[in-house]
Structure 1
Amino acid sequence: MRFNWDFDYIKVSKYFYTFSIVVTLLGILSLAVFGLNYGVDFRSGSNVDISASKTVTKEEIEPILVETGLSADEPQISAGSDRISIRFPTVLNEEQESSLKAAFNEKIDPKASFEVNTVDPEMAKELGRNAIYAVLLASLGILIYVTIRFEWRFAVAAIVALLHDAFIVISVFSLFRWEVDLTFITAVLTIVGFSINDTIVVFDRIRENLRFSKIKSHKDLNGVVNRSIAQTMTRSLNTTFTVFIASLFLFLFGGESIRMFSLAMVIGLVFGAYSSIFIASPLWAVLKSKQKPNQNNPSKTTP
């Protein structure tokens, strides 16, 4: 079955602009007040991952922490299955690690295995800086590429959509206080890749349709954009839906270590799909409509 995607996307884009602005402002407010809920990757401390041979509850673990003297740090406990994660805001020494492992093996599960990850303050700061640099360098590279392949208006619209997708995901994680770790940064960079890919596909069709269109008014320009979006809609939705389903099932049935990665991917794919349609393309149309006419031919515009 083939759907007819003919629709005035430019006309309704103002509602999506409003929605995105509201979410962005809420995200800025949340980041200013609460910041991000950094995981052990970006905050000094120790994270103890335990693989047990049976289901272990939080109530079983708390007495062990009291017994070993580790409850004073108010660690965060994630339990309820055979995978348990205990995050301490301070770095555990060898004696504390040994006492925790011994008490868990003795009182709960002698077959349990442990993995302890520790990050010192300087390493946490360096990881945070590197994560920001990675996103900025990726954006700069994309800006240069799109400018060379298309024109600066396409590049500006693409970068706005790209940063929009990345910041929306960050805002949602800040608002709901979900944990941010290195897998989250990986997810954001992956979302950036999918977002720019979708946007470039639409832009390529716009450029192709412009060659065979006579643009004499804003209505003609909007018509080209609407037609280009409609022609690429099926391809964009199929690609996004395929990755979305995979990410959703990873979130529902995957391990604890990739849960935040999967959740970020699910959110980012949804926003990335609509930003290429309702943010990037309409924004390019706005920038293009402000272009001065070619003096030799008023029906054409200068590049």
Structure 2
Amino acid sequence: MRSKRTFDFVHTSRRFLTVSALILLIGLVMLGIKGLNYGIDFSSGTSVDVTISKKLEESKVKSFLDEQKLGDYTLTSAESRESIRFKNALTDVEEKKLKTDFQAQLDPDASFEVFIVDVEIAKEQQRNAIIGLLVASLGIIVYVSIRFEWRFAISAVAALLYDALFVICLFSIFRLEVNLPFILAVLTIIGYSINDTIVIFDRIRENLRFAKIKSREDLDRLVNDSIWQTMARSINTVITVLIAAVCLFVFGGESIKLFSLAMIFGLVSGAYSSIFIASQLWLYLKKKQPIKKAVAVKPQSTP
């Protein structure tokens, strides 16, 4: 059914693609200059989460840590928790002294959760994270190629790469910590984005089955109509999931805040890329295929 909406996604897609390319280019430049701010999951170090029985002044905690002389650290303070990240892997002696001194000087009822990662484990987790992302992308290529066709597969993976790079670049620009929950968020974003893309692709395929394509303008109209016919579902889905992600970010603990933030970035990017990258790239590839024109049959003359 022909959509009555007036906004033309196809004819405006070049502007959106240009803006997307510029944003991604800036992000990649910043990524090349600054790199990623790896957490201890991907770099050697020690994470110490202290559950406290009373609110402590951040300045006192920092003075205490400076006196310990355990190297560079970052401190995140909450109402009942102090999260300390040391860039060096603490020895057993240093860890024991830190706990004893903290209880003696700041809070005798404090309890500790210590997580230490050495260099070899950090490298292995980096490698496993990359392998996981590559396997997920390969699986999507195979699935979409079987379910649809190669043009859909290429377009879908291009959109997924954009979503992943968009989130990675934002984390690089704002120096947000990259850890295992971040990788989990990227994989979740990939899953959401491909779902949104498949909904549009399925409608394109269905409309293509019954449409009479005589020109490239017919293909433009078909893609526009397909996007509009799935727009309500896409908007409702992204808003529902976005509300949950925002609630996790606002009300969740410190350990899942970055996961929630990555989800928020990725959900918005996934909805955008399904419309302005995946479907438009498929249209570009489809237009490269010659349009089959009906052959006129001459009526036979009666003797």
Q: Which residue of 2 aligns with 1:145?
A: 143
1:261 counterpart = 2:259: yes
Instruction: Quickly say closer, same or farther: Cα 1:196–1:89, change in 2 above 3 A.
Output: same
Q: Which residue of 2 aligns with 1:69?
A: 69
Q: 1:175-229, CA deviations, whole angstroms, 9 ceiling, x for partnerless residues? A: 1110000000000000000000000000000000111111111111010111111
Question: In 1, distance between residues paired with 2:98 and 2:81?
Answer: 16
Contact residue 36 and residue 177 of structure 1 kept, 8 A: yes
1:214 counterpart = 2:209: no
Give the alignment of 1:1-303 within 5 angstroms: 6-70=6-70, 73-294=71-292
Give RMSD over aligned pairs: 1.7
Contact residue 46 and residue 92 of structure 1 kept, 8 A: yes
- Give SS of 1:41's match: coil
TM-score normalised by L of structure 2: 0.93
- Give SS of 1:56's match: coil
- Give SS of 2:55's match: strand
Q: How many residues of Structure 1 are paired with residues of Structure 2 in the alignment?
A: 294
Structure 1 unaligned blocks of 5 or more: 299-303
Matched AA of 1:54? K
Identity of aligned residues (%): 55
Instruction: Quickly say closer, same or farther: Cα 1:290–1:117, change in 2 above 3 A.
Output: same
Contact residue 6 and residue 227 of structure 1 kept, 8 A: no
Matched AA of 2:105? K
When Rg is computed on C-alpha atoms for both structures, the one with the higher figure is 2
Question: In 2, distance between residues paired with 1:266 and 1:245?
Answer: 9
- Give SS of 2:228's match: helix
Structure 2 unaligned blocks of 5 or more: 297-303
How much does 1:267 deviate? 0.3
Question: In 2, distance between residues paired with 1:237 and 1:4?
Answer: 18
Instruction: Quickly say closer, same or farther: Cα 1:62–1:157, change in 2 above 3 A.
Output: same
Question: In 1, distance between residues paired with 2:193 and 2:5?
Answer: 20
Matched AA of 2:32? A
- Give SS of 1:54's match: coil
- Give SS of 2:81's match: strand
Question: In 2, distance between residues paired with 1:155 and 1:75?
Answer: 44
TM-score normalised by L of structure 1: 0.93
